[in-house]
A and B are shown apart, each in its own frame.
Chain A
Amino acid sequence: MARWGMVIDLSRCYGCRACMMACKVENNTPGAHFWMYVFRLEEGEYPDTQVRFLPRPCMHCDNAPCVKVCPVGARYKRADGIVSTDWARCIGCRYCEVACPYGVNYFNWKSPKKNQYLDWDSPAAEALEPVTKGAVPPYQNPALGGQMKDGRKTAGGGQLKGVIEKCTFCVHRVEKGLQPACVANCPAFALHFGDLDDPASQLSRLLAANKSFRLEEAFNTRPRVYYLGAPPPSTEARQIQAVKARE
């Protein structure tokens, strides 16, 4: 069985945040939720400063703190390595969120429908009906509703008020043999997705040929997202142009 993972080539990333946008469109995540987030970081003191970029999806850790603490098994590790959230089971305690070292979890603080960039119940959305040939709400991805192959409801965002959601590695696409939306839409080919267990995969070849690191490895979370092409951001790195949206 494939064991999915991601490799992010920092030497290619120029911080355009197209992956963030692709993720939002694909997964219908509500406002202020960024399952994929690209840090724009500044290091050093003037005039010796440097700007760097660091995309941050969910790390899909093999030793995931969020999976351990979930009281009902709504957050779980799939056999193919994806850390999934069963939004049909989640009780909304947010323990996974405080346990995660990477800050990748987003809670639906209010009804996601109301929190979309366009209120799907508003007249403005209905007015779009002729344009979208009757598809209301517009831009709602029909692939996100049902069960995944393991029989659980884990795909997509904006599902329900009061549950936790996060990056799914686009499980609904991966199960169909497609790449996650962020990977498919990266204009610089900085993101790579594939089977870490297959020595012939592009991922394995990239990792064999380059020095790589994973975020906060000291905590033994064993992330499945690898970075290469640049050293880890220094502890002095400051975030610039942060997305400040609050729900």
Chain B
Amino acid sequence: MATRADTRLPYGVGQAGARFFLLVAGLLVLVGLGAYAYTRQFVEGEAVTGLRDIGTMGGAPWGLYVAFVIYFVGVSFAGITVAALIRILNLEHLRPVSRMAEVLTVLALVLGAMSVIVDLGQPGRGIVNLLLYARPQSPFFGTFSLVISGYLVASMVYLYLESRKDAALCAREPGRLQWFHRLWAAGYKDTREQRERHLRASWWLSLFIIPLLVTAHSTLGFVFGLQISAFGWYGAFQPPEFLILAGVSGIGLLIVIAAAARQTLHLQEQIPKRVFTWLANFLWVLLVVYGYLMIVEVLTAIYQPHQNEEALIRTLVFGNYAWMYWLSVGLLIVPLVVLLVQSVMRRYSLPIIVASGVFVNVAAIIKRYLIVVPSQTHGRLLPYGPGAYSPTWVEYLIVLGIAAFGALAYVVFFKVFPITEVKESDGSQSLWKTSE
């Protein structure tokens, strides 16, 4: 990668120091470990995971992988939501984080797809047979077609449209990355006609992506919510809960990423604190909605539960899963209270907002796990007795490898492309110079 020639590009594009290479090396090691673990699984079969059959084996056939499918697809919420808020509600002050959010969406969806593939017993067939024999009756159809194809493609197109102008600006600068920026800009000259066409296209696209986003996240909820005999899964609240928790984790992660970028790339001017306070307020509103859905769901479940439902709830609240359950509840309540207090006092602390972002993401991961696993190990209908599931090192390494791949793609992308919109008011050339 270029280190000298491209120093005049903004926001650290084309500049890579020792710290960056160290980060990349660390992430590559994690990706490598994940790849190694996956080869073990590919060769030996999923016997190397902690997954086993429901019933006489007393296991859970869905585990960590499925939990992370939901988590990854969940965080993709952030990008398009922010984009749509900017476009449709004219929230111009969110603009500095819009590209970060859009790239987060695209990558999170790719990671979600990867998690699906590693979960399949026949990954090759997964890709071919889904095209050949897809059945819309299966809730998975929505997951594959809407989430992983439609939503992903729409987000990529949106990202492309939104960033062509910056690509054109960057392409003016000679250097080793010029070909890339030229290719991306693809003839964009920022004429008035082009600008208006872009604006119109992205406005309509963001309008159409919103229903796609709601449907996509709901579809994942339907994967569980439609299973009448699975206690803890069945219910009409599953889709909206998936949607809102997706929002919580997505906005939370965006806060963390934006803060990290602001710190490391010295973007205090470009990303003002106002962005974070707005996102923090949005986050607590989402948390309130999620809390409401949760309380209604829990009250409905505990009032007069089916015998198996009761057994399941007992395990969650007092049994094997209790520590995870209460940890996730705490990690959601603390940010809610803190952010709410901040909002009321009108005094915002950036570290607290970032910590809240971390908390809600840990909570979201635990929540996803608790949605997927306990219903399989406990509360099944026939008298098989309770089951057990604990992930093995293979599963941990694969999930870690997938996440590291995402982080790697993210940081590398923003070494070749500006992380936030290049301010045009200064005139591109002069901006390059001031950021030197």
Q: B-contacting residues of A (Cβ < 8 Å)?
A: 32-34, 37, 39, 41, 56, 65, 68-74, 89-95, 97-111, 160-164, 215-216, 219-221, 233, 235, 237-239, 242-247
- B45 engages A109 (CB within 8 Å): yes
Task: Give, as a whole number of angstroms, the nearest-CB distance from A169 to chain B.
Answer: 18
A101 to B137, CA, bound (A): 19
B47 contacts the other chain (Cβ, under 8 Å)?
A: yes
Instruction: Give the chain A neighbours of B54 by CB distance below 8 A.
Output: 97-98, 100, 103, 105
Considering the complex, give the chain B residue whose CB is closest to the CB of A237. Answer: B383
Would A109 and B51 be within 8 Å (CB), given that A91-B122, A98-B376, A246-B57 are in contact?
yes
Complex A-B: 22 CB contacts under 8 Å: A33-B53, A69-B138, A73-B135, A89-B133, A90-B121, A92-B125, A93-B140, A97-B53, A98-B61, A103-B53, A103-B382, A106-B53, A106-B57, A109-B47, A221-B229, A233-B383, A237-B383, A238-B383, A242-B385, A245-B56, A245-B57, A247-B57
- B52 engages A246 (CB within 8 Å): yes
In-complex Cβ contact of B381 among A93, A101, A246 (8 A)? A101
Instruction: Give the chain B neighbours of A91 by CB distance below 8 A.
Output: 120-122, 125-126, 129-130
Task: Give, as a whole number of angstroms, the nearest-CB distance from B93 to chain A.
Answer: 42
In chain B, positions 287-329 with a C-beta closer than 8 Å to chain A are: 307
Q: Which applies to chain B's interface (DSSP): helix, strand, loop or mixed? A: loop
Task: Give, as a whole number of angstroms, the nearest-CB distance from B219 to chain A.
Answer: 12
Instruction: Give the chain B neighbours of A65 by CB distance below 8 A.
Output: 227-229
- A239 engages B383 (CB within 8 Å): yes
Instruction: Give the chain B neighbours of A92 by CB distance below 8 A.
Output: 120-122, 125-126
- B61 engages A103 (CB within 8 Å): no
- B119 engages A93 (CB within 8 Å): yes
B193 contacts the other chain (Cβ, under 8 Å)?
A: no
Task: Give, as a whole number of angstroms, the nearest-CB distance from B77 to chain A.
Answer: 23
Considering the complex, give the chain A residue whose CB is closest to the CB of B45. Answer: A110
Considering the complex, give the chain A residue whose CB is closest to the CB of B127. Answer: A91
Task: Give, as a whole number of angstroms, the nearest-CB distance from B63 to chain A.
Answer: 10
- B130 engages A71 (CB within 8 Å): yes
- B47 engages A215 (CB within 8 Å): no
- A108 engages B45 (CB within 8 Å): yes
- B382 engages A215 (CB within 8 Å): yes
Task: Give, as a whole number of angstroms, the nearest-CB distance from A234 to chain B.
Answer: 10
B102 contacts the other chain (Cβ, under 8 Å)?
A: no
- A109 engages B56 (CB within 8 Å): no
Could you mark each residue 225-250 of chain B with 1 if its beta carbon is under 8 Å from any beta carbon of chain A, else 0? 01111100000000000000000000
Instruction: Give the chain A neighbours of B45 by CB distance below 8 A.
Output: 108-111, 161-162
Could you mark each residue 131-173 of chain B with 1 if its beta carbon is under 8 Å from any beta carbon of chain A, else 0? 0111101111100100000000000000000000000000000
Instruction: Give the chain A neighbours of B56 by CB distance below 8 A.
Output: 32, 34, 37, 103, 242-243, 245
Task: Give, as a whole number of angstroms, the nearest-CB distance from A220 to chain B.
Answer: 8
A82 to B283, CA, bound (A): 51
A246 to B54, CA, bound (A): 11
- B138 engages A71 (CB within 8 Å): yes
Could you mark each residue 375-395 of chain B with 1 if its beta carbon is under 8 Å from any beta carbon of chain A, else 0? 010001111110000000000
- A69 engages B140 (CB within 8 Å): yes
Considering the complex, give the chain A residue whose CB is closest to the CB of B62. Answer: A98
Would A246 and B46 be within 8 Å (CB), given that A71-B144, A93-B119, A109-B52 are in contact?
no
Task: Give, as a whole number of angstroms, the nearest-CB distance from A67 to chain B.
Answer: 9
Would A107 and B129 be within 8 Å (CB), given that A73-B135, A244-B58 are in contact?
no
Instruction: Give the chain A neighbours of B130 by CB distance below 8 A.
Output: 71-72, 91
From A32, A69, A93, A105, name the one whose CB has the most chain B CB atoms within 10 angstroms: A93
A27 to B57, CA, bound (A): 19
A73 to B131, CA, bound (A): 12
Could you mark each residue 103-115 of chain B with 1 if its beta carbon is under 8 Å from any beta carbon of chain A, else 0? 0000000000000
- B121 engages A162 (CB within 8 Å): yes
Considering the complex, give the chain B residue whose CB is closest to the CB of A101. Answer: B229
- A72 engages B133 (CB within 8 Å): yes
From B56, B133, B139, B381, name the one whose CB has the most chain A CB atoms within 10 angstroms: B56
- A110 engages B384 (CB within 8 Å): no
Instruction: Give the chain A neighbours of B119 by CB distance below 8 A.
Output: 93
Task: Give, as a whole number of angstroms, the nearest-CB distance from B213 to chain A.
Answer: 22
In-complex Cβ contact of A161 among B55, B121, B132, B376 (8 A)? B121
Other 16 A-B pairs with CB < 8 A, given A103-B56, A215-B381: A32-B57, A33-B53, A37-B56, A69-B138, A72-B132, A89-B125, A91-B130, A99-B230, A102-B381, A103-B54, A105-B55, A107-B46, A108-B45, A108-B121, A110-B47, A235-B307
Considering the complex, give the chain A residue whose CB is closest to the CB of B307. Answer: A235
A37 to B229, CA, bound (A): 20
B59 contacts the other chain (Cβ, under 8 Å)?
A: yes
Would A94 and B121 be within 8 Å (CB), given that A32-B56, A73-B135 are in contact?
yes
A100 to B381, CA, bound (A): 10
A3 to B133, CA, bound (A): 26
Considering the complex, give the chain A residue whose CB is closest to the CB of B131. Answer: A72
- A68 engages B138 (CB within 8 Å): yes
- A39 engages B382 (CB within 8 Å): yes
B44 contacts the other chain (Cβ, under 8 Å)?
A: yes
Instruction: Give the chain A neighbours of B383 by CB distance below 8 A.
Output: 39, 41, 233, 237-239
Instruction: Give the chain A neighbours of B126 by CB distance below 8 A.
Output: 91-93
Instruction: Give the chain A neighbours of B129 by CB distance below 8 A.
Output: 72, 74, 89, 91
A233 to B141, CA, bound (A): 37
Considering the complex, give the chain B residue whose CB is closest to the CB of A32. Answer: B57
A242 to B384, CA, bound (A): 8
- A95 engages B384 (CB within 8 Å): no
Q: Which 10 A-B pairs have the closest CB atoms?
A: A92-B121, A162-B121, A103-B55, A101-B229, A110-B47, A110-B45, A71-B140, A109-B47, A94-B61, A72-B133
- A103 engages B135 (CB within 8 Å): no
Considering the complex, give the chain B residue whose CB is closest to the CB of A42. Answer: B383
In-complex Cβ contact of B46 among A72, A101, A109, A243 (8 A)? A109
- A163 engages B122 (CB within 8 Å): yes
